[in-house]
């Protein structure tokens, strides 16, 4: 990649972006498959926790895809509107129409310049969803009660791992109930 000598030379920036796009095409910009399997699933201490973490990650990616979908849709509308404005300017030729046309073309190019980043985000988000989706499909829907019934066991395991297994017992395990009952009493 040639050195970028000035930020005002857009050809150099475009060439650098094309080079970067080519080099990084298959490199995940979000989590790799290994990270998703290891940090999102395998690092959890129960299948329910892995399900929860996978759901959160997938929801995050779906939210990003949804946002990108509407952004792309809006950008397509903006481009069509700008192209129509250019057509009217070329037909009517008002004062400074050439500058107005150049400005509209610049806006279109700016919108289009983000296509690589957008496509990369979409590709990486879909890959992450596809890696984590089998966790959801394998475990399936569980009840809140089912999930909650495993939480004490999970946190006991975490404390044992951190050599703090006595901590769970020594914590005031009824504190939550005490606080709630105080709130009820004071009302």
pLDDT digits (tens, 9 = 90+) for 113-153: 889 889 999 999 999 999 999 999 999 999 999 999 988 88
CA distance 82 to 107: 8
Q: Report pLDDT for 138.
A: 93
Contact between residue 145 and residue 133 where contact means Cβ atoms under 8 Å apart: no
Whether the pLDDT of residue 176 is over 90: the answer is no
Report the Cα–Cα distance between both ends of the chain, in Å, rounded: 70
Q: Enter the pTM of the model.
A: 0.76
172 vs 116, more confident: 116
Tokens 């095409």 locate to: 25
Helix pair 97-112, 47-92: axis angle to 10 deg: 160
């Amino acid at each position: 990649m040639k050195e970028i000598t000035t930020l005002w030379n857009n050809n150099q920036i475009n060439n650098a972006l094309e080079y970067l796009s080519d080099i990084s095409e298959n490199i995940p910009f979000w989590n790799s498959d290994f990270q998703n399997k290891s940090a999102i699933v395998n690092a959890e201490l129960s299948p329910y926790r892995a399900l929860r973490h996978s759901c959160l990650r997938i929801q995050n990616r779906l939210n990003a895809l949804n946002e990108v979908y509407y952004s792309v849709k809006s950008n397509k509308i903006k481009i069509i509107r700008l192209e129509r404005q250019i057509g009217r300017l070329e037909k009517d030729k008002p004062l400074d129409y050439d500058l107005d046309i150049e400005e509209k073309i610049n806006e279109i190019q700016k919108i289009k310049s983000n296509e690589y980043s957008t496509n990369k985000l979409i590709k990486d988000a879909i890959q992450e969803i596809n890696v984590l989706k089998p966790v959801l499909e394998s475990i399936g829907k569980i009840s809140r009660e089912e999930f909650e019934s495993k939480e004490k066991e999970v946190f006991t395991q975490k404390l044992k791992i951190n050599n703090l297994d006595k901590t769970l017992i020594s914590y005031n395990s009824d504190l939550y109930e005490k606080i709630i009952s105080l709130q009820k009493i004071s009302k």
